[in-house]
A and B are shown apart, each in its own frame.
Chain A
Amino acid sequence: MRAFAHLLERLVLTPSRTRKIELMVHYFRAVPDPDRGLGLAALTGDLDLVAVKPALIRQLVAEVTDAELFGLSYDYVGDLAETVALIWPAPGGSDAPLRLSQVVAALDGASRSEAPAVLRRLLDGLGPSQRFAALKLATGGLRVGVSARLARQALADFGGVEVNAVEEVWHAQASPYASLFAWLEGRGDKPVSRVAAPFRPVMLAHPLDERDRAAIGPRDYLAEWKWDGIRVQAVAEGGARRLYSRSGEDITAAWPDLIAAMEFEGAIDGELLVRRAAHGGDAGTFADLQQRLNRKSVSTRLQQQFPAFVRAYDLLVDDGEDVRALALTSRRERLALLVGRLDPLRFDLSPLVPFADAGELERLRRSPPHPVIEGLMLKRRDAPYLPGRPKGPWFKWKKDPHVVDAVLMYAQRGHGKRSSYYSDYTFGVWHEGELVPVGKAYFGFTDEELRALDRFVREHTTDRFGPVRAVRAEPGFGLVLEVAFEGLNRSGRHRSGIAMRFPRIARIRWDKPPAEADRLATLEALLPGSPGAPTP
């Protein structure tokens, strides 16, 4: 339990993704089974314990502390579990340290009437930071910013295997993952997936470089539109139906309308999109799709307003036959037959884009026929379906991002090794003679440019609010940043009424006077539905 409590604390306080992974790898090395597997399950939210109510914890602590002293402490600390962990009177954790597995077993096995005694015994037997961890486990409030994907990357690093290999077997595994660890340590065979309708690791594309363009031609490559939705795998096998995100997250529960239409036997790779019921069922933008994302369940109203569908582009399993080793052209033929039998409002085929040469593709890419297209996909006709990101068979060629000139308004210090630099910038554009903030982007420069920007911020600070500095920004003096972004949405949260998607600082325009930066009207014209927006 000591190691787990320590890991929790370090994970919460460590901003860097790479360092989080390292911490987990070290934990997997240092801690034996089944504790490490339980720790893993706890981090990813897969440890299902009957939740203890905060009221019970309050009751227990009231038995051993003065109410006024507890109240003063709680006011100061601000978190119930933390206050109780620190104030609990027993010194704890000295002679026979409890293991995580013992704590989990105690919490798991306790009936409602036994729970108070079990919890009291645990609190007596653990040291303060372990009590905190145990209370967070017991109340189900463990939030450490570790996604299942991050945990799987840590497992892959721990075992020296590709993350795809872990993703492939992940769904067949359950806490405490003994056979998974045995395999990763070279003590056992790779576990086989026994789950019905399992996830298969997806094939990813490389961005198309200038150098790669020469190789692109209709003889070797197929082209199709790149749809701006989310990549999914729809699997229906042996009566089970599941929908996975591209990293293997099971997102079935949020898409009941789509699941009901999965009347096939196989595994389809495609883009999840929504239709706008109010606009004759046309494919909705990413903003429409967002209405339905990050929800555990979904209301009937939302399902009717934004019905989901899959624009299919590949087939991994066809009626029990694994077709991943076949060439793309054969897989697409089978896919077309399969999709042809499905409800066309729920599954359609991503159409091929005929082209003569790379020059024609270039023209198509610049003016796609639909606003929900974000570029082109180029796929080798003869390539099998390979997990990961193999170089060569698949390319993505995105539309050029939009670019505006904005003025630096605020700067904030970064994290980790950037914590001494002002590396996080809020910028604005002109509106009625004033600057209105339109977005925020992180550092994307060379070290030298970062230093120069940092110096500019420090030398021209006009005000400070905690870690944030306001920077001089006037028509005649200030710093112009060329900001590239993928798109715009309307937003009530920003004063400007717009929110940028994926903004990044493309260039620092030391040469440009702020008065010549862009106006809000320029951005408003790019909003979906406005007259200036790219037309379908």
Chain B
Amino acid sequence: MRPDELLRPRPEGLYCPPGDFFIDPVRPVARALVTHGHSDHARAGHGAVLATAHTLAIMALRHGPDFCASRQAARFGESIDLGGVRVTFHPAGHVLGSAQIAVERNGLRIVASGDYKCRPDPTAEAFAPVACDVFITEATFGLPVFRHPDPAAEIGALIRSAEEFPDRTHLVGVYALGKAQRVARLLRDNGWNRPVHIHGALKEICSYYQASGIDLGDLRPATIEGGGRGDFAGAIVLGPPSSFASPWVRRFADPLIAFASGWMQIRARMRQRGVELPLVISDHCDWDELTRTLRDTGASQIWVTHGREEAVVRWCELNGISARPLHLVGYEDEAE
């Protein structure tokens, strides 16, 4: 069986003809397998959805309980038969519940990575490479300039800045699913024992993480209770980046804008965002981790999607691995 008989790109997303399902489709389809809860991967309106229990719960939080007609929870490591195709979910380490999906038939195994991260992170199930014939990798940070520093050091810089400027509110831009919880947890693990304040848009998913047994410490709403601006002097406040351009930020004392993202390695991006304190903290693997993973899977073929395909294909060429870009449509430059 040729690999593209098992999985092939279609306008709706990655399609498996023998199993008649899509992986992370960008348009409504009859049967969807979803790697994780980020909105460009997990859309509403499908017929049946197969995903991990966490991903299903997160989709219900974001899209409402009726986000699909029927759903099935996949457990990590357990195989499910779909029309003669063996499907297995493996942890991707990206956000809570995120999965790589292995698809097998007639001895051919293809793994679709979804988004993945190799570093230890107590807020997501640990990534492990899955041996396969074809590995479909994301390439969000697929350029050799992306080499993420130790997140503990980045969080250390935030804590030091909060101590250096106790009269200012440190506003940290974080996306609601994954980054917010990771930053809160990193703050805890690196000695920030005071409350962490959060914008209302982050509340639901943070509560979900905490209910799932992930300790994020004392999270409080970033609202003023009878006091003034001074309430938040010296505080660390997490909020979605979009909120920083809204009147919401006016309640804070001389806010210092930070942003936690893998993009913060690039100065033009820092300036574009008007960030005073860039924090290079990413949900994705960096270049070194990505290329190591390509080797670790033992795959003889790499398909590249979701980012800077060209450079990853070039690396494969230099390392004697056959590779091609998939050109899937509908995935944005990861807002992370």
Contact = CB atoms under 8 A, between A and B. Distances in A.
A78 B268 contact: yes
Interface in B105-125: none
Nearest to B249: A420
B335 interface: no
A419 B246 CA distance: 9
B315 interface: yes
Contacts of B165: 19, 22
A14 interface: yes
Given A26-B164, A86-B145, A419-B244, A79 B267 contact: yes
Given A69-B311, A72-B314, A86-B147, A77 B247 contact: no
Given A72-B314, A413-B245, A419-B257, A128 B147 contact: yes
Given A72-B143, A87-B144, A10 B276 contact: yes
A77 B311 CA distance: 14
A280 interface: no
Contacts of A26: 164
Interface in A1-38: 6, 9-10, 12-15, 19, 22, 26
B8 interface: no
Interface in B235-275: 244-250, 254-255, 257, 265-268, 270-271, 274-275
A66 interface: yes
A415 B267 CA distance: 18
B144 A69 contact: yes
A417 B255 CA distance: 6
Interface residues of B, number: 36
Nearest to B275: A13
B276 A13 contact: yes
A419 B245 contact: yes
Contacts of B268: 77-79
B290 interface: no
Interface in B147-167: 147, 149, 157, 164-165
Contacts of A86: 144-147, 265
A87 B286 CA distance: 12
A416 B254 contact: yes
B143 A14 contact: no
Given A69-B144, A72-B311, A420-B246, A13 B265 contact: no
A215 to B, nearest CB: 39
B204 interface: no
Given A77-B268, A86-B265, A128-B149, A66 B276 contact: no
A462 interface: no
Contacts of A128: 147, 149, 265
Contacts of A416: 254
A239 B157 CA distance: 52
A515 to B, nearest CB: 32
A233 interface: no
Interface in B301-315: 308, 310-311, 314-315
Contacts of A13: 270-271, 275-278
B251 to A, nearest CB: 10
A285 interface: no
Given A13-B270, A86-B265, A417-B254, A76 B145 contact: yes
B318 interface: yes
A83 B146 CA distance: 10
Given A13-B271, A419-B257, A73 B145 contact: yes
Nearest to A420: B249
Nearest to A454: B247
A65 interface: yes
Contacts of B247: 420
Contacts of B246: 420
A128 to B, nearest CB: 7
Contacts of A12: 267
A420 to B, nearest CB: 5
Interface in A35-77: 65-66, 68-70, 72-73, 76-77
A423 to B, nearest CB: 12
Contacts of A76: 143, 145, 266, 308
A486 interface: no
B143 A73 contact: yes
A284 B15 CA distance: 76
Given A79-B267, A87-B145, A416-B254, A69 B315 contact: yes
A474 interface: no
A82 B267 contact: yes
Interface in A392-422: 413, 415-417, 419-421
B82 to A, nearest CB: 38
A128 B274 CA distance: 21
B196 to A, nearest CB: 21
A66 B266 contact: no
B308 to A, nearest CB: 7
A481 B35 CA distance: 55
A419 B318 CA distance: 46
A402 B270 CA distance: 40
Contacts of B249: 419-420
B274 A419 contact: yes
Interface in B136-195: 143-147, 149, 157, 164-165
A86 B146 CA distance: 7
A15 to B, nearest CB: 8
Nearest to B257: A419
B143 A66 contact: no
A69 B276 contact: no
A72 B270 CA distance: 20
A462 to B, nearest CB: 19
B240 to A, nearest CB: 14
Nearest to A417: B254
Nearest to A68: B314
B101 to A, nearest CB: 29
B104 to A, nearest CB: 33
A15 B276 CA distance: 8
Nearest to A466: B272
Contact of A77 (B245, B248, B266): B266
B155 to A, nearest CB: 15
Interface string A206-218: 0000000000000
Contact of B314 (A19, A69, A77): A69
A127 to B, nearest CB: 8
A66 B245 contact: no
Contacts of A79: 267-268
A415 B274 CA distance: 8
A466 to B, nearest CB: 10
A128 B154 CA distance: 13
B144 A73 contact: yes
A128 B271 CA distance: 18
A415 B249 CA distance: 13
A198 B267 CA distance: 40
Interface of B: 143-147, 149, 157, 164-165, 244-250, 254-255, 257, 265-268, 270-271, 274-278, 308, 310-311, 314-315, 318
8 A-B pairs closest in CB distance:
A86-B145, A73-B145, A420-B249, A72-B311, A13-B276, A87-B144, A417-B254, A73-B143
9 contacts: A9-B278, A19-B165, A65-B144, A69-B143, A70-B144, A76-B266, A86-B265, A128-B265, A413-B245
Given A69-B314, A128-B149, 15 more contacts: A13-B271, A13-B277, A14-B276, A15-B276, A65-B144, A69-B143, A72-B310, A73-B311, A82-B267, A415-B274, A417-B254, A417-B255, A419-B249, A420-B245, A420-B247
